[in-house]
Structure 1
Amino acid sequence: MSSRPRRLATIALAVLISLAGFSTAHASPRAWSASWTASPQRPSASFAPNWSEQGFADQTIRQVVRVGAGGELTRVRLSNAYGSTPLKVAGATVARTADGAAIRRESLRHLTVKGARAFTVAPGRELATDPVPLRLASLESVTITLYLAGSTGPATFHAQALATTYRAAGDHRSDAGGAAFTQTSSSWYYLSGVDVAGGPARRDGVVAFGDSITDGAGSSADANNRYPDQLAERLAAAGRRQAVLNQGIAGNRLTVDSAWFGDRAVDRFRRDVLGQPSVGTVIILMGTNDIGISELAGASPYPIFAPYPDVSAAQVIAGHRELIRAARANGLRVIGATLTPVKGSAYYTPRSEAKRDAINAWIRTSGAYDAVVDLDRALAFPDDPDRLAPPYDSGDHLHPSDAGYQAMAAAVDPNTFR
């Protein structure tokens, strides 16, 4: 088929899907596949200055993400999960990324909801746009631009993007160049997902669910070197069309809610894992913050880590069991990841290490998981197994380096995926 008939067929398919109501939350979960995600968080100052608490007014924000699996059609999901007022989007576009804040002009598509370019996301809700005929390849970067004309109030966001977000005064949703986008941030705002459709219906997406070590803390900015990204690269190199969705939140705990670091994992699991379309497998790496922050009570100069309950190994294991039950009830394959070494970091004490050892022994030997990836052993320093190997240490003795994240991705056996 020539390019012109293929393009006309793709447009026709987009129209049919839109008329059938697939742009709403009631779409068949098999009609769309999540290709990129970020977990929404409450507005906060977090680790670094950001725009979440002040929000936006007569400003355009431009955000660049790299998708996992490709497809013929694209839609974008926006979250107002922690907004107290309706989020009014005056206009939005999606395009292939050029360089920095610039886009490839010929790929620009205006995003709509029920055919309208201006739309509203209700407080506490997520909204998916209508499909657009934008064909994306696996591991291709895409740029989403939102023009917010009125005052938004505090913004639902994802604190640690490890990617550059751009802001401009006024309406620049259709700009091909990036000259107007003179301000930058290292967080994502309102953006919770990019989905693709048009390929074979399948349920083979993989969710990496965890804390900062899944989120990518310590990896290079704008380099896509988080372990889920590097795992996606492995799959693509092997010819496997599977997205690896990063649902990590820095500082997140399995058993404890935090205004700064997200709802506890046992609560957000339904939204961040079970709510993703066409997912078949979840890799769970959780518990490091539960036992590590327990050691900071009375010693931490950072109130952002509060509260400081003493979380036991048994409580963490009970949290894992709860996640396993929820995943299996929804037909997902569940892979458990052992907790990585922390010796030399503020989290390390003999007591926290005893908890980590107990949790890891349970993950390895209990048979509770469908499969296990032993990240502890993959990253450990042979001369001192409680410590990250020096090449894998970003410098804080807690978070891996780019090489460490590569080693994590290499430790995952793709044959254990659904």
Structure 2
Amino acid sequence: MNKVGISKVGAGKPGINRAARRSAVPLAAGAAALALLAGAQPSAARPVAWGAAWAASPQLPSTGFTPNWSQEGFSHQSVRQVVRVTEGGDQVRIRLSNAYGTSPLALTGATVAKAGQGADVQPGSVRELTFGGEKSVSVPAHGELRSDAARLGLGRLESVTVTLYFARTTGPATFHAQGFTDTYRAEGDHRADPSGRAFTAATSQSWYYLSGVEVGGGARRDGVALFGDSITDGFGSTPGADRRYSDALAERTGRPVVNAGIGGNLVLNDSAWYGERSAARFGRDVLDQPGVSTVVVLEGVNDIGFSEARKGPKPQPTYMPAPVVSSAQLIDGYRELIRQAHSRGLKAVGATLLPLKGSDHWGRHSARVSDEVNDWIRTSGAFDAVADFDKALASKTDPDRLAPSYDSGDALHPNDAGYQVMAEVLAKLL
């Protein structure tokens, strides 16, 4: 897969360009109730310091291991998504991505609200979002944009609901495959509905078009971006419970934390299912996050393990590309990420690869390369600090294996307890 370019429309500030406003679709007639919503746009009299409070890295529409709605997209439907922010503020805006769209995305309108139970939102908290002052907008193909600010006071670790309405047919949807929390879909325009009754027919555990939630009004500037693959993404944690290691780190440190993990992602190669290679997406998924001062890199197990997994009795078609990768090649990939981080003044923390013996990624080659890479991370001094997850989660009787108490069941991904230990190790470095 060739690298897909990202057009930063409105990046770093609210609003859209003139062309995008001209191509915006009109509001649906059924949205008249939105005029009554509280929370008009805040005054632009003084600049607002924005900080990333939640993020999800965009991916190419695909099925892979997880059934989802990305390839069919949406038509005359509302999509309600619930996320937990890791920083509070008195203003909020969202970041939308059409990174993998081949045509402009017509968004009829959007709202943000404090989450209730399931698809419900808290009555009186619904705020209509605008984009450059417009209620409807067209997100350019391969582009992204941020909404204007809306007044909505949010606390740290509070859940917020974003509802997007598409009166037109979207085509395949840029999405994040493994959200490990429910997303809801309903026929028609239900942006302003406090009740989630219309959304009970269909759910997914992916996020669609929504790639960030940012807060203003007291946002901190010491945010942490966790960059990696399925372990960073939270595979093996309890769905719907916010038990990823990014969640545990935010709870433990009190700092804003954004998760830039993509399950199956590779340091060195693009994947049709698992996103662009690390260096190609690092700018969008880490460096463009406002308020982030530190990045933690935990990636490489798929680069060395896919070639082993392809030899197994049940090789997955998604395990491609699967070249045999050396430790020197991976180290070159890490050096490029460190270079990019330092070029923007970010502290780069290197995390050792976790034990993988007994998993489908395990083999003679992957065991050797994993040890060589971990030795380099620990001793080279290339990273500004090292989080030794390998030692922290290893079995005491067999250090090549995850400790049974931290194993989610596949000998590769931690469970909730393992992710908690990772957060504890990392918190000591921050």
Give the match for residue 409 of structure 1.
Answer: 423
Give the match for residue 284 of structure 1.
Answer: 297
Give the match for residue 242 of structure 2.
Answer: 224
CA distance in 1, matches of 2:315, 2:297: 30
Give the match for residue 213 of structure 1.
Answer: 231
Q: Per-residue deviation at 1:301?
A: 2.7
1:113 is matched by which residue type in structure 2? F
1:15 to 30, 33, 43: 43
Secondary structure at the counterpart of residue 113 of structure 1: coil
Q: Verify: 1:243 aligned to 2:234, yes or no.
A: no
Give the match for residue 3 of structure 2.
Answer: none
Q: Verify: 1:198 aligned to 2:206, yes or no.
A: no
Give the match for residue 152 of structure 2.
Answer: 134
CA distance in 2, matches of 1:173, 1:107: 12
2:208 is matched by which residue type in structure 1? Y
> Matches of residues 355-394 of structure 1 in structure 2 within 5 Å?
355-394=369-408
Give the match for residue 265 of structure 1.
Answer: 278
1:410 is matched by which residue type in structure 2? E
CA distance in 1, matches of 2:175, 2:193: 24
User: Which segments of 5 or more consecutive residues in structure 1 lack a partner in the other structure?
Assistant: 1-9, 23-29, 237-241
Q: Per-residue deviation at 1:11?
A: 6.9
> TM-score if structure 2 supplies the norm length?
0.89
After superposition, the C-alpha distances for 1:20-78 in whole angstroms (9 at most, x for unaligned) are 8x7xxxxxxx8210000000000001212100000000000000000001111100111
2:112 is matched by which residue type in structure 1? V
2:328 is matched by which residue type in structure 1? A
CA distance in 1, matches of 2:322, 2:286: 26
1:309 is matched by which residue type in structure 2? P
Give the match for residue 162 of structure 1.
Answer: 180
Give the match for residue 92 of structure 1.
Answer: 110
2:336 is matched by which residue type in structure 1? E
Give the match for residue 395 of structure 1.
Answer: 409
Secondary structure at the counterpart of residue 235 of structure 2: coil
Q: Per-residue deviation at 1:12?
A: 8.9
Secondary structure at the counterpart of residue 59 of structure 2: coil
2:231 is matched by which residue type in structure 1? I
Secondary structure at the counterpart of residue 385 of structure 1: coil
Which portions of structure 1, spanning 4 or more consecutive aligned residues, are displaced by more than 2 angstroms? Answer: 10-13, 296-301
CA distance in 1, matches of 2:239, 2:364: 33
CA distance in 2, matches of 1:286, 1:49: 24
Secondary structure at the counterpart of residue 49 of structure 1: coil
Secondary structure at the counterpart of residue 42 of structure 2: helix
Identity of aligned residues (%): 56
Matched residue count: 391
Secondary structure at the counterpart of residue 41 of structure 1: coil
Secondary structure at the counterpart of residue 106 of structure 1: coil
CA distance in 2, matches of 1:99, 1:187: 18
Give the match for residue 31 of structure 1.
Answer: 49
Secondary structure at the counterpart of residue 294 of structure 2: strand
Q: Verify: 1:57 aligned to 2:75, yes or no.
A: yes
Secondary structure at the counterpart of residue 400 of structure 2: strand
1:194 is matched by which residue type in structure 2? V
> TM-score if structure 1 supplies the norm length?
0.91
